[in-house]
Structure 1
Amino acid sequence: MYFLEINKKHIEFLGAIRNWDNVKAAFDEQSVWVKDFLFEQLSAVEIQQIPFHVIYELKNNLLFKKGSLLPTKKLPSGLLWTPIVRALPVALPSFNHNYFGIDQKLEIHLKASEAVREPYALLTDYSELVNYIEKAPDFRLKPLSWVILEKKILIFGNPLLPVKGETYWLKDDFLLPTGYDFEWSALSKTLQQDLNPLGEDIIIWNKNNNSIVIAKNKMKPLSISSFRLTFS
């Protein structure tokens, strides 16, 4: 049998699995415990995206961290188990990712993701774009907007143009490289509230974990005329 443990102050991250009606939760003085997982649920994205959690396997009333041959501790006695949907309130407390204890610092990184995401933005060079856009019909450009980004051009919308470049998908006003997601995906909205509280910007998050902020009011509709005027 497997158990998940997470500190009570991080309880809000269990919201990702609150709808799993097969699992049960219990509380001790410091932690929230969750059990009765289906085996395939242990490797599900919803579990992987919960920061600060630990998965244990129970053997002879001793808890072994998943994959470890050495026991860590005993399962607390007297736990009162209840379906997780009842154990967790609908409105979970807000999480301040700016504060962590000395041993609880969390860095935000991207990681490769197997999830298929529809590209929403294309970062390309002028030389790649000019040959296509001069011949493109208006209806092909009308759904799109664009902005000049340093020495490149960023195009937003769907469907994107069949032009060579780097593609990004949209998540909570972040543009993430296709094929990648935040390591702790559950922090996405928290990051947005901290970095873009008014929702006035789009933030590009690159694979090297650098970010670029673009004001939404800087984007303009893509058309042949706007393109020619800009580069005339």
Structure 2
Amino acid sequence: MNKSLLGASLFALALVAPVAHAHEAGDILVRAGAITVNPKADSSTVKVDQGPLAGANLGGKATMSSDTQLGLNFAYMLTNHVGIELLAATPFEHDVKIKGTALGAANGKLGTLKHLPPTLSVVYYPLDNKSAFQPYVGAGINYTWIYDEHVGSRAQGAGFSNFKAENSWGWAAQIGADYMINDKWMINAQARYIDISTKATVENNAVAPGTRAKVNVDVDPMVYMVGIGYKF
């Protein structure tokens, strides 16, 4: 085969070869990776709301630790530029600490809790779907289910029990980007803000029978995820 014939054959093959597109209407995207929840945890002061000391303001603040788990994204492309995305993850576990209260026994690690933060968002991809790099922005709604609250051993020794925290509804916003390795596989990175607020309560009958303290916490975490994805 001479060079001109080979060149013509390659040109013809290029014309009929399928073009690798990024995201198109009807695509299903599945992403998985490491996801970190980093709470801001801006709280009210700790107040006694039940028992003979009701109304007492103990001062102080509540804080929460960060945690990293397996994150999952499931997205469906409604058009070439707009999709619906669900964020899921394995359960996060956070230490809850109290600091600066007038009741010295309350300061330190109060206990732990777990939560699941499913978040449903609408996402927008501004670039042409022939681009391998696909940045996006999104906004949606979050429901945080808090469960498995436990008082720590030190707090139990100080008389604390029955630690509870309320579930939360809130809004969420995100930015992210996919980079298409080929027509199916992608690398993903994303960051989002989630509006999470809860009221936490804990009892202490050692101080006085029927005593319960409460604190309102704006958790409001930044959530970061890096991973890989596959397009169906």
Same fold (TM over 0.5): no
TM-score tier after normalising by the smaller chain length: under 0.3
- Give TM-score scaled by structure 1 length: 0.21
Greater share of residues in helix: 1
Greater share of residues in strand: 2
Rg (Cα) greater in structure = 2
